[in-house]
Structure 1
Amino acid sequence: MRTTETVTETVGVFSALLLDMDGTLVNSDAAVERIWRRWADEHGMDFARVLPVVHGRQGFATMAELLPDRPMEENLRENALLLAEETTDVAGVVEIPGATRFLASIEELPHALVTSADAALAKARMTAAGLRMPDVQITAESVRASKPDPEGFLKGAAALGVHPWDCVALEDSAAGVEAALAAGARVVGVGPRAAALEATAHVETLEQLRVTPAPEGGARVTIAR
């Protein structure tokens, strides 16, 4: 009788973890698509053109890319309305498989949430998914620039008192992976969107990811295949 052996891949040893939310800890795709499909319809856009731009970015940055001639003030105003709408629309928001176990495994290790959501939306979606909110949070209010700018990850590392190159970031989107790499972190891509991206490593879900205290200090990150 043949048995399937588990192969373990070591990502490395790090001082801290920087965690994206949507698509990484929380599956909010249904809510995101509802909100942005309505936005696309209101602006006479093909939703298939809008969706690839949405993931990972703040709403105003998505609008700026899709409507390059529109004043930023109008993007910011409309983004505030969308954020309020998203905060109340959490139907279908669930955890990414393995997220509860993963967050429990890193509770005593330095980690920060680095999300393009504002604080209210982050709380609403983490609560809807039944997930623990990290104590350190870098949200939309914390930064001037949206992912793919590295500002959020740089601020997350600074808030934890570590260098960004001594961090591993978890991300699912092209904008997020680009931002984390630009900050100097190594990146584990999570889920199908990240499979073709240039992350350091990739997992289908958080069920494959293991984080344990390293004897030499910090956290050892491995992947079970």
Structure 2
Amino acid sequence: MEFTIWISFVGAALILAFTPGPSVLLATANSMNYGVKKTVGTILGDLSANLCQIVLASAGLASIVIASGELFQLIKWLGVAYLIYMGVQKIIHRPKNQKMKSTVRTRTFFSMYSEGFLMSAANPKAIVFFAALFPLFIDPALPFVPQVAILAVTFLSIDGLSLLIYSRFAERLKSYLENNEKVYLQNKIVGALLIFSGLMLSLVRRSNN
């Protein structure tokens, strides 16, 4: 892969990764409630889902999802339901100082990882997104797999870095949000944004419709 092509991909990946989306909202909310160390599980879950989506997209599943209206609709509505569920959970949860401390101790790495994985995997457009983005930076004259591997590692590294930066910034804001009412307001805002993301996802239509 030529260096200039890789640099172009890095620029595109930076813009996409640092644009706030559902995964960023979840990571920042978890960082405020549980700290950056706990949120690493959420970030790893998100990156694992992205890796699976990249592999599936590279294997040609994107064309199947696009071709099968029933499959696309099933994945889409599962994603919509999960995003709205997460949003409602954030809205109705009223934090209390004592309970937050015990929650931090009982929240396992697996639960944080699963939450991040499901949040990212809930978006059916991701497979199509990777299938559309990667070919723009792949030279057909060169071996396919090594190029996909380079692009995947690059994207996942940038995406992980952006989530860590957002999480670190959010944790620093925690000292200003110790007031339960302020934390509750923050959770309601995040919840509303997650529900909005789910509603926007529900409007997605197949390109061949």
TM over 0.5: no
Q: TM-score, normalised by structure 2?
A: 0.30
Structure with the largest fraction of strand = 1
**Whose RCO is larger (CA < 8 A, sep 6+)?**
2
> Could you say which structure has the larger radius of gyration?
2
